[in-house]
A and B are shown apart, each in its own frame.
Chain A
Amino acid sequence: MRKGTFELAILLLLKRKPMYGYEITKHLQEESTFPIADGSIYPILKRMSTNQWVYSYKEEHEGRSRKYYDVTDLGGKVLEARWEEFTNVYAFLDQLKK
């Protein structure tokens, strides 16, 4: 569940604009809901690349090669499916609470 939520959050972030690993980590760390340890984003991004949910490309930045990630078409579909699943779970829990 937690792993899936991280992936969903990453897909949502990348849907806004391509980002690099540290940038994604900073955005996630801003929210206390996602206390992601520094560095643990990379195995997740690698797994998402292998699943072809995201793709990466390199850009030069101040003499360093920086790896950016963006969402693939498949990643977009996964995002929609996961979002629907997530809202359904949330709606169900909300109903239980009442």
Chain B
Amino acid sequence: MLQSIEQYINELDLKLKGLPKDEREHHLAEIRDHLLERMEEGDPEARVVQSFMAPDKMSEEILQEYRQRNAQTFEHPNYWFVLAAISVIAPFGALALPIIQENYYAGPQFAVLLQLLIGSVALFGYFRKKLNEERVAILKKMGRLMIPILALPFGFFSFSIIRTEEWSSFNFIYLLLYLLVWLIYYISLRKVYQSSIA
């Protein structure tokens, strides 16, 4: 049986994992405030917690409202999140092309960099506090896609050497820069994932 406010909040937090993080935190802060005020008015902590709506029932009602709200929206609830994640990962395919071209064409690459920039702002800014269980699962799958994408720059690099039978300094420097940017993004994605499951 629950004895303390923190126990109640922790249990409710676990049961509300289906909600986006910021929404979940708003609910928990509001309920914690309610319980603390009752305690400040003189009710013993255990009684405050035990007479409050049980975490099972509370989470069921909150999640039901969330599901109904999502069902009323035209788009898939995670449509924009998936789009943001794709916008962060897909550009790494296109960004490998200069290696096989042995030249950097700023024009076509501008669109790719713009997509990466917009995707990054959306994913690491807007969605960072709006992660729920489904989005975290999507993030994990997308993050794992980053690794096979690395086959492209290395493949292009090898192909370029085979074709020209010599090392290109441009390709080598570009590959290093590519790997640096890739690593920054991979670590950032992993951090967002780890903070969301903590």
Contact = CB atoms under 8 A, between A and B. Distances in A.
A87 B44 CA distance: 41
B33 A64 contact: yes
Contacts of A39: 31, 34, 52-53, 58
Nearest to A47: B65
Contacts of B37: 22
A21 B65 CA distance: 17
B1 interface: no
A42 B62 contact: yes
B53 A66 contact: no
30 contacts: A20-B30, A20-B33, A21-B30, A22-B33, A22-B38, A25-B34, A37-B53, A38-B34, A38-B52, A39-B31, A39-B34, A39-B53, A39-B58, A40-B53, A42-B27, A42-B30, A42-B31, A42-B58, A43-B58, A43-B61, A43-B64, A43-B65, A46-B27, A46-B62, A64-B36, A65-B29, A65-B33, A67-B26, A67-B30, A67-B33
Nearest to B40: A62
A49 to B, nearest CB: 10
Interface string B64-87: 110001000000000000000000
Interface SS, B side: helix
Interface of B: 26-27, 29-31, 33-34, 36-38, 51-53, 58, 61-62, 64-65, 69
Contact of A46 (B34, B38, B51, B65): B65
Contacts of A22: 33-34, 37-38
Nearest to A25: B34
B125 to A, nearest CB: 21
Nearest to A50: B69
A50 B51 contact: no
A66 B33 contact: yes
A87 to B, nearest CB: 29
